Amino acid sequence: MRRICLTVVGMYLTLLHAFSQVAPADSISYKAKKLKLDEINLVSSYYNQTADKSSVMGGRTDYKGNGDVTDLANGLDIKFVGFDSKGRKHSLSGGLGIDYHTAASQAYVDSNGHARNNGTRIYPTLDWSVENATKGKEFGLGAYYSAEHNYYHSIGLNTLLSKKNHHNGEFSVKLTGYFDRIKMILPAEFDPVDSVKSTSSADSVVYVTTASGRTEALTYVNGQAVSTSSKNVVPSRLRDTYTASFSFAQVINQRMQGSIAMDLVYQSGYLGLPFHRVYLNTGKDTVENLPSQRFKFPIGIRLNYFLGDNIIIRTYYRFYIDNWGMVSHTANIEVPVKITPFFSMSPFYRYYLQKAVNYFAPYQKHTTSDQYYTSNYALASFTSQSYGAGFRIAPPKGIFGDLNMLEIRYAHYTQTTDLVADVVSLNLRFK
């Protein structure tokens, strides 16, 4: 009897043990992860330029230093990353840029040099993208806004599509639009009326140059000023820029990868700037006048090669042509040298060659029969060179706690137009 009971108990326990090996729940399905702070980048730069042929002065060289500029630029980018229930990676990035500049030429919007010579630009950005690593596809949307004293606003919108193939290649398309509203701040000598006292009795908007050299708009009704606020509307003109960017990147072998990028750009609207003077051969000055359409076609190639164990060679070439007659070539080489696995030094050199647009002529070389005219030396024929070096520190455990990477870079830039510039930049990355 005891044997039967023990046998039954043993069988029961065996059955229990047999059914204890339950297959675990399916672990293949993705678990959604909320957006989490992934990376913060802080980029600060100081830019200093000396030049004598500013476009505000119509390319005159008798006002030495009239093209001098300083700029302090600061940008903050914050990136969040998360995953949805289908395993797709979502990235959300927000950025804010604040630039403060001084420009000697800006003071000469007023013919006596009394206009303000500084300004602040603020430009936030927002970008979102979703990546399906399994299918190798990515889709993104972005928005941009910019404001500064010489234009009401600039709004930018973009969308991105990219696809990877099974051969380590990636094709991307990005569509971008910028919609600018330019304030028509004329040089003071071109203000319609230069004195409040000579106002007519009709309803009108009168533009006056104040003692500080600023151009202000006063609204008059029946000859009476109804508002003297400087917030009265200065006339504006629109400028639209549409860009279709195509790029293809390919891993060539274990040490080399390259890419080719091409943009199709169309601009329309007011493509000059209202405070750029042009002095004709008669001695009379006027405001630059440029066509209202521009087609641009740049195409660029990158090729990076890992030489040995410590040296990387980064190269870039761009060819550019547009329907205003400009042709340019850009060639750049940078050679990062890894002093240690976490510290590298990167000397670089850039050469640029530009042929002028059809509408450019120097000071007092334009004639009264010219339909379009500019003396902006950014559109002239010249060559430029830029060289410098960068230093990058990125130890795996960080530098000071969360400071993941520090990069500092110096560049010296010269043009054959006698423009010389220096820029120092710092990038701090926190993870």
Partner 1 sequence: MTKTRFFIVTLSALAAFFSPSCLPVKEYQKNRINDSEMTLANRKVEKTELNAQTYREGSSGANGGKTGGGCGCN
What part of residues 144-173 is at the interface with partner 1 (CB under 8 A)? Answer: 144, 146, 148, 150-151, 154, 156, 167-168
The residues with which 25 forms a beta bridge, in sequence order, are none
Q: Does 300 bind partner 1 (CB under 8 A)?
A: yes
CA distances from 425 to 253, 385, 402, 405 (A): 33, 18, 20, 14
Identify which range of 13-21, 206-214, 224-232, 267-275 contacts partner 1 by CB under 8 A: 267-275
Specify whether the CB–CB gap between 379 and 278 falls below 8 A: no
Here's the x/- map for partner 1, 179-218, by CB under 8 A: it reads as xx-xx-----------------------------------
Report the residue from 178, 190, 351, 387 that binds partner 1 according to the rule CB under 8 A: 178
The residue within the footprint of partner 1, chosen from 83, 207, 220, 320 (CB under 8 A), is 320
Contact string (CB under 8 A) for partner 1, positions 105-134, x = contact: ----------------x-------------
Buried/exposed code over 404-424 (b: 16+ C-beta within 10 A; e: otherwise)? bbbbebebebebebebebebe
Interacting residues with partner 1 between 338 and 377 (CB under 8 A): 338, 344, 346, 352, 354, 356-357, 376
Does 403 contact partner 1 by CB under 8 A?
no
Q: Least CB distance from residue 429 to partner 1, whole Å? A: 8
CA neighbor of 347 nearest in space, from 333, 361, 360, 357: 333
CA–centroid distance for 287 within its chain: 27
Closest distance between partner 1 and the C-beta of residue 124, in Å?
A: 13
**Which residues within the stretch 40-99 sit at the binding site for partner 1 (CB under 8 A)?**
41, 43, 45, 47, 49, 71, 73, 75, 77
Within 215-244, the residues that bind partner 1 by CB under 8 A are 239-241, 243
Considering only residues 40, 312, 389, 403, which one is a binding residue for partner 1 as defined by CB under 8 A?
A: 312
CB nearer partner 1, residue 208 or residue 273? 273
The only residue of 176, 209, 215, 375 in contact with partner 1, by rule CB under 8 A: 176
**Which of 340, 349, 345, 338 lies closest to 311, judged by CA?**
338
Question: Is 306 near partner 1 (CB under 8 A)?
Answer: yes
Task: Check residue 252 for interaction with partner 1 (CB under 8 A).
Answer: yes
Residue from 86, 89, 73 nearest 140 by CA: 89
Residues 6+ apart with CB under 8 A from 186: 207, 215, 274, 275, 287
Single out the residue of 203, 209, 239, 207 nearest to residue 224, CA to CA: 203
**Nearest-approach distance from CB 207 to partner 1, in angstroms:** 18
Give the amino acid at 370.
D
Residue 296 contacts partner 1 per CB under 8 A: yes
Cα dihedral across residues 101, 103, 107, 109: positive or negative:
negative
SS3 of 70, please? strand
Q: Find the shortest distance in angstroms from Cβ 32 to partner 1.
A: 25
Residue pair 288/55 in contact (Cβ under 8 Å)? The answer is yes
Q: Who's near 178: CB < 8 A, 6+ residues apart?
A: 144, 154, 155, 156, 239, 240, 241
- Residue closer to partner 1 by CB (options 219, 342) is 342
**Residue 254 DSSP label:** T
Contacts (CB under 8 A) with partner 1, residues 372-391 = 376, 378-379, 384, 386, 390
Shortest CB 118 distance to partner 1, Å: 14
- Tokens 């990028």 identify what position? 261
Residue closer to partner 1 (CB basis): 73 or 403: 73
Q: CA–CA distance from 57 to each of 52, 112, 185, 279 (Å)?
A: 9, 11, 15, 9
- Work out how close the CB of 234 gets to partner 1 at its nearest, in angstroms, rounded to a whole number: 13
Length of the chain: 431
- State which of residues 328, 333, 372, 389 lies at the interface with partner 1 (CB under 8 A): 328
